[in-house]
């Protein structure tokens, strides 16, 4: 299991796509330089270069759309996570206390509490939020 947060892992998925985006821009720029510099190029080669620019720009446009959607998702996730973390930090102890009391009469909660390392959960923001939300719904 990775020690990286979910958000860090999501952000890492952007890196190769951002690199590809820059490479596609560079490619289109280089092709344009070739076209501008070589007036003696045969017409078929010129057309092939122009086709390559169109294809590159289409790929770039699609990639930019995907990147924008991912970035929007990440922003929404981060905003919601911060809200959830604030709530968990404020109410975590009460929910654990309620769960402990309810565990006396509810075998499922007792099993969950017995299997969970509460100290480990408190050291990870993501685990704390996930655990808090799960137990909040149970108690």
- Band of pLDDT at residue 1, cut at 50, 70 and 90: very low
Listed by start position, the domains of the chain span 6-138
**Overall pTM surpassing 0.85 (yes/no):** no
Residue 6 contacts residue 124 (beta carbons within 8 Å)? no
Residues 95, 132: Cα–Cα separation, whole Å: 7
- At 88-102, the pLDDT tens digits run 999 989 998 998 898
Residues 139, 134: Cα–Cα separation, whole Å: 9
**Positive or negative CA dihedral for 86, 90, 93, 95?**
negative
- At 40-75, the pLDDT tens digits run 999 999 999 999 999 999 999 999 999 999 999 989
């Amino acid at each position: 299991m990775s020690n990286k947060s979910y958000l860090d892992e999501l952000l890492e998925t952007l890196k190769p796509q951002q690199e590809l985006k820059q490479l596609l821009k560079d490619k289109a720029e280089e092709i344009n330089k070739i076209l501008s510099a070589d007036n003696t190029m045969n017409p078929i080669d010129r057309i092939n270069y122009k086709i390559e620019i169109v294809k590159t720009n289409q790929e770039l446009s699609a990639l930019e759309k995907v990147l924008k959607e991912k970035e929007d998702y990440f922003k929404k996730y981060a905003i919601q996570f911060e809200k959830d973390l604030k709530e968990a930090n404020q109410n975590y102890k009460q929910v654990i206390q309620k769960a402990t009391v309810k565990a006396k009469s509810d075998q499922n909660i007792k099993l969950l509490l017995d299997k969970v390392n509460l100290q480990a959960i408190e050291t990870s923001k993501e685990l704390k939020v996930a655990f808090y939300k799960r137990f909040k719904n149970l108690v």
